[in-house]
Amino acid sequence: METGSPDSDSILPLDHRECERARSRRDRRYDGRFFTGVRTTHIYCRPVCPVRPAQARNVTFYPTAAAAEASGFRPCLRCRPETAPFSPAWQGSRATVHRAVRLIRAGALDNANVEALAERLGIGSRHLDRLFGRHIGASPLQVARTTRIQKAKRLLDETKLPMADVAARAGFASLRRFNAVFAEVYRRTPTQIRRIRFKPV
């Protein structure tokens, strides 16, 4: 796992100062366009997070939730990054990346590997990795992982489905895997996560 490298900003389609201004004002127009990693707490947030903003010197900005997670940040339980609007920031990026993300969201990497995904897109897997690095700041596998976590988190918050169903619907290979990933990402079990209730931001 990488820790917030200074290079992370280079893939951000937005200016660092613009992000900082949006974050300090909780500007809703920027919701989904970037995420803020707080290095002191290892938590990442939406720009609209109601929690008192961290000091500017402790934050790093990322273009996607997957990029923040790939750098070792955990999703904020208060602003719920999994509920951020689909990012318009990289909607203008390459059509191939866009298509790949759509396929991943539909579960393309739940039962098949990156090579198979790349083949469906008509490119090599290394090229796909490079495109993801440039436009998303995370690999296809990291995006798939974040997508599963986000789906599961929304199901935990919005349904009363049994844990095994949440795991299966979110695309996890097993309940054990689901529990392990949640423990790693949230430092809590899915049951503990389900008990936490905040008003939506």
CA distance 35 to 68: 7
CB 23 to Zn ion: min, Å? 10
Whole-number Cα distances in Å, 76 to 14, 73, 130, 150:
22, 9, 28, 12
CA distance 131 to 182: 28
107: left (phi > 0), else alpha (psi -120 to 50), else beta?
A: left
- Identify the residue whose tokens are 């920027």: 30
Toward Zn ion, which CB reaches closer, 82 or 139? 82
Toward Zn ion, which CB reaches closer, 79 or 128? 79
CB 32 to Zn ion: min, Å? 14
CB 200 to Zn ion: min, Å? 12
Q: CB 163: neighbour CB atoms within 10 A? A: 18
Contact 81, 44 (CB under 8 A): yes
Toward Zn ion, which CB reaches closer, 44 or 178? 44
Toward Zn ion, which CB reaches closer, 76 or 118? 76
CB 53 to Zn ion: min, Å? 9
CB 157 to Zn ion: min, Å? 15
Toward Zn ion, which CB reaches closer, 26 or 98? 26
CA distance 108 to 120: 10
**φ/ψ (deg, to 5) at 158:** -110, -10
**Which residues contact Zn ion by CB under 5 A?**
45, 49, 76, 78-79
